């Protein structure tokens, strides 16, 4: 029995390693935790968290996604992030997710969603690479893939992969699902 258990653990470990090489983001489909509407996805953080969180209103895969909506004041923003602690300077990181505009609260005006990567050294942000943006034109019926690519600066030892909503003079909300980061 003990040998069987050991073999099972080894197989699970190998599976985890193989998975990590493809996509370094945990809980990429936002299926954990189940049924905790409005909470952070397991493994992720958020800010202005009243305006983002898990939802079962929509999902590209599985039952859940994350919604990110406009905070009340102009110039405010809200979003979610995954902190990755194994950054290697000079390596290239391809960060993507799928987004869907909200039908009940669509992105309006000059509000937009955006991907970015905050580069950190000793837990402090040293530099940020801004990625693609999506605005009111974002489809309400088809999940659209958004992608950015950035190379880790010298001395970076960690980073935040950020999915964000900027309110500006607009408002609205979108859903995000299936976030992935691949290392090149
Ligand atoms: Ca999902």
Measured in angstroms, how far is the CA atom of residue 56 from the centroid of ligand 1?
Answer: 9
> Could you tell me how many residues make up the chain?
184
**The model's pTM:** 0.88
Measured in angstroms, how far is the CA atom of residue 154 from the centroid of ligand 1?
Answer: 34
The topology under which CATH files domain 26-183 is Jelly Rolls (2.60.120)
Measured in angstroms, how far is the CA atom of residue 145 from the centroid of ligand 1?
Answer: 14
Measured in angstroms, how far is the CA atom of residue 137 from the centroid of ligand 1?
Answer: 22
Q: How far apart are CA 34 and CA 64, in angstroms?
A: 8
Residue spans of the chain under pLDDT 70: 1-21
Measured in angstroms, how far is the CA atom of residue 153 from the centroid of ligand 1?
Answer: 31
Query: Residues with Cβ < 8 Å from 129, sequence gap 6 or more?
Result: 116, 117, 119, 148, 150
Query: Residues with Cβ < 8 Å from 180, sequence gap 6 or more?
Result: 23, 25, 28, 94, 95, 96, 97
């Amino acid at each position: 029995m003990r040998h069987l258990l050991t073999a099972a653990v080894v197989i699970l470990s190998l599976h985890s390693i193989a998975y990590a090489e493809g996509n370094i983001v945990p809980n990429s489909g936002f299926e954990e935790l189940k049924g905790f509407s409005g909470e952070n996805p397991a493994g992720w953080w958020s800010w202005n968290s009243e305006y983002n969180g898990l939802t079962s209103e929509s999902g590209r895969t599985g039952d859940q996604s994350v919604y990110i909506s406009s905070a009340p004041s102009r110039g405010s923003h809200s979003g979610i992030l995954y902190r990755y602690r194994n950054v290697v300077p000079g390596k290239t990181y391809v960060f993507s997710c799928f987004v869907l505009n909200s039908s009940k609260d669509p992105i309006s005006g000059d509000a937009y969603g955006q991907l970015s990567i905050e580069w950190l050294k000793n837990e402090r942000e040293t530099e940020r690479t801004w990625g693609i943006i999506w605005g009111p034109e974002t489809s309400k019926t088809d999940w659209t893939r958004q992608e950015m690519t950035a190379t880790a600066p010298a001395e970076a030892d960690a980073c935040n992969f950020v999915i964000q909503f900027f309110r500006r003079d607009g408002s609205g909300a979108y859903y995000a699902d299936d976030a992935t980061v691949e290392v090149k």
